[in-house]
Structure 1
């Protein structure tokens, strides 16, 4: 790690501020949830989000650019930062500092980058194994990165909560898949559910996927209840938002899911946030 002189510290502060703005710009719901973390945890989680969001935007949104070249440069910039201890990209720099501060495993970062690269090279997942490998890299390891922050070097707690953290990441990703069916399939030509077909997507297929996600959420909730007090409220709030989103997906006819994106109105988001805060303040068991 390079010497942390005044200029370096000033730049590092700016880098975290940049990742905070990336979080606020791309996900108001997640940004609101991060406000419930104490400052050091919030800074680290936004550092993780900024990195994964930027990678995701490269492969999903920069259609008029050479996406492969951009992603190659992004990964090269991270490798350079890992070697030198600094990056001229503030989003990468804030993520690097988080990786070092909390001991985030490099294998998690590599698995994430591999899944993002797969979005440039692979469109259709034909087996459960392929889909699970993609979800592991795109979502499960992000949950593990965040858990490293929450546990703050408590290796025993990390080991005990690793599986619930991965199940929560999987649940979030699968909900996103269902919410974004139209954009993924028609816009990007991607099919993440093995055997999925827009023509054959019916209520039975939808409910089977919903039940699978319900099981992920049930496992994840057991872990959320055991998180340190500094992170439990924010994670539970995000959990409540996605559970409600899944409920709306369950109540939406399958034929409509392939034509529009399901959303939670801002007023309902506020009620979810308020309810989670009240339960936390009253020390009520989260459900």
Structure 2
């Protein structure tokens, strides 16, 4: 079984902990197909920890968006309650939650700052209280917690090219890539987000092109909406361009994973253009053939990068007394 081999390589022991990592891996495979494909390009010993980060984010997302029988206020209360329990468990270093268990183990091994998770949870709370963002600066405040810190969470696991590369430089590029991915999601999911009562495109951008929320809700792609989306696509491509130099600064065994993810997510923008900016009728996707081609090419590079390389994984920390 692939999951068991990955956990063996990562030195993950104990039935409960291994089950937690397996759950996170299953969530990534089911819900984050591009993410999961890119993760397969990492050394086996690092994959479980990336799965744990995804599993945690997915667990929170389910609280925010997957409880249709609850009101927003009830979901907010549940999220606040769950977040407070999680942050206490994170500080303590252990938990009974079957998803959080893997994440807490990952955080302890890789010395990931706890503040990143508090910031993420704060942005997820905003999803239940904030419907629109007046300016891009306002949106970027939200994206710090929803996207930028996710790139920062990943960096200790992905590693640097060598000790001469400054962490702050790598982290700056990681933030840009996180913002690029998040903006791509916003553009692809305009229709879905509207159905949830949210508009992530800045109001200042809508006003610039004479678009209001009612016009978006009609779902008719006219010239104003095309121009709006084209404007935001170019902004998003700027983040991809700013992030690209950082790929060469991470450890060689992580570069193909990042490059594949950046390529496939970036091509979602191209697919939006090919669909004549129709982000209302159905979810725009990169085709399976293209995904397979990018994945296979990246796999060749990843296999070459791993030759003669031993992946260091920090040992599991001592359990709390």
Measured after TM superposition, the shift of residue 70 of structure 1 is 2.4
Measured after TM superposition, the shift of residue 30 of structure 1 is 1.4
Asked if 1:269 corresponds to 2:291, the answer is: yes
Taking the aligned partners of 2:111 and 2:186, their CA distance within structure 1 comes to: 30
> Which residue in the other structure is 1:119 paired with?
127
Deviations 1:184-234 (A, max 9, x none): 01x111111212335275222111111111110011111012210121111
> Which residue in the other structure is 1:134 paired with?
142
The alpha-carbon distance between structure 1 residues 46 and 155, as it changes in their structure 2 partners (threshold 3 A), is farther
Residue 97 of structure 2: which of 54, 79, 89 is its match?
Answer: 89
> Which residue in the other structure is 2:31 paired with?
26
Residue 163 of structure 1: which of 157, 169, 172 is its match?
Answer: 172
SS of alignment partner, residue 64 of structure 1: coil
The alpha-carbon distance between structure 1 residues 194 and 172, as it changes in their structure 2 partners (threshold 3 A), is same
> Which residue in the other structure is 1:4 paired with?
none
- The correspondence of residues 165-204 of structure 1 with structure 2, limited to 5 A, is 165-185=174-194, 187-195=195-203, 196=206, 197-198=212-213, 199=215, 201-204=224-227
Taking the aligned partners of 2:226 and 2:89, their CA distance within structure 1 comes to: 48
SS of alignment partner, residue 45 of structure 2: helix
> Which residue in the other structure is 1:5 paired with?
none
Asked if 1:252 corresponds to 2:275, the answer is: yes
Residue 143 of structure 1: which of 145, 151, 166 is its match?
Answer: 151
Q: Which moved more, 1:38-47 or 1:161-170?
A: 38-47
Deviations 1:148-204 (A, max 9, x none): 22127969542221111011000101110011000101x111111212335275222
Equivalent pair of 2:41/2:302 in contact (CA under 8 Å): no
Equivalent pair of 1:80/1:87 in contact (CA under 8 Å): no
Taking the aligned partners of 1:73 and 1:43, their CA distance within structure 2 comes to: 27
Taking the aligned partners of 1:282 and 1:75, their CA distance within structure 2 comes to: 41
SS of alignment partner, residue 202 of structure 1: helix
Taking the aligned partners of 2:237 and 2:186, their CA distance within structure 1 comes to: 14
The alpha-carbon distance between structure 1 residues 44 and 279, as it changes in their structure 2 partners (threshold 3 A), is closer
Q: Which moved more, 1:42-51 or 1:223-232?
A: 223-232
Taking the aligned partners of 2:14 and 2:84, their CA distance within structure 1 comes to: 23
> Which residue in the other structure is 2:68 paired with?
63
Measured after TM superposition, the shift of residue 279 of structure 1 is 4.9
Asked if 1:226 corresponds to 2:249, the answer is: yes
Question: Unmatched 5+ residue regions in structure 1?
Answer: 1-7
Question: Unmatched 5+ residue regions in structure 2?
Answer: 1-12, 207-211, 217-223, 306-321
Taking the aligned partners of 2:88 and 2:16, their CA distance within structure 1 comes to: 17
> Which residue in the other structure is 2:240 paired with?
217
Number of equivalent positions: 275
Equivalent pair of 1:151/1:157 in contact (CA under 8 Å): no
Equivalent pair of 1:82/1:96 in contact (CA under 8 Å): yes
| RMSD of aligned alpha carbons | 2.2
Equivalent pair of 1:44/1:95 in contact (CA under 8 Å): yes
Equivalent pair of 1:15/1:90 in contact (CA under 8 Å): yes
Measured after TM superposition, the shift of residue 96 of structure 1 is 0.8
TM-score by length of 2: 0.80
Residue 42 of structure 1: which of 43, 47, 55 is its match?
Answer: 47
Equivalent pair of 1:81/1:93 in contact (CA under 8 Å): no
TM-score by length of 1: 0.88
